[in-house]
A and B are shown apart, each in its own frame.
Chain A
Amino acid sequence: DQQVKQNSPSLSVQEGRISILNCDYTNSMFDYFLWYKKYPAEGPTFLISISSIKDKNEDGRFTVFLNKSAKHLSLHIVPSQPGDSAVYFCAATDAGGTSYGKLTFGQGTILTVHP
Chain B
Amino acid sequence: NAGVTQTPKFQVLKTGQSMTLQCAQDMNHEYMSWYRQDPGMGLRLIHYSVGAGITDQGEVPNGYNVSRSTTEDFPLRLLSAAPSQTSVYFCASSYEGLAGGPAAGELFFGEGSRLTVL
Contact = CB atoms under 8 A, between A and B. Distances in A.
A80 B59 CA distance: 34
B96 interface: yes
Contacts of A4: 42
Interface string A28-61: 0000101010000111111001010100000000
Contacts of B104: 32, 49, 97-99
A44 B100 contact: no
8 contacts: A34-B106, A49-B104, A97-B105, A99-B94, A101-B32, A101-B33, A103-B105, A107-B42
B40 A102 contact: no
B111 interface: yes
> Looking at chain A, what size class is its interface with the partner chain?
20 to 34
B99 A103 contact: no
Nearest to A4: B42
> Looking at chain B, what size class is its interface with the partner chain?
35 or more
Given A43-B4, A107-B41, A98 B97 contact: yes
A32 B43 contact: no
A97 B48 CA distance: 16
A63 to B, nearest CB: 16
Contacts of A97: 97-101, 104-105
Contact of A100 (B41, B42, B43, B50): B50
A101 B48 contact: yes
B19 interface: no
Given A98-B99, A99-B94, A49 B42 contact: no
Contact of B45 (A9, A32, A42, A103): A103
Given A98-B96, A100-B31, A101-B50, A32 B105 contact: yes
B93 interface: yes
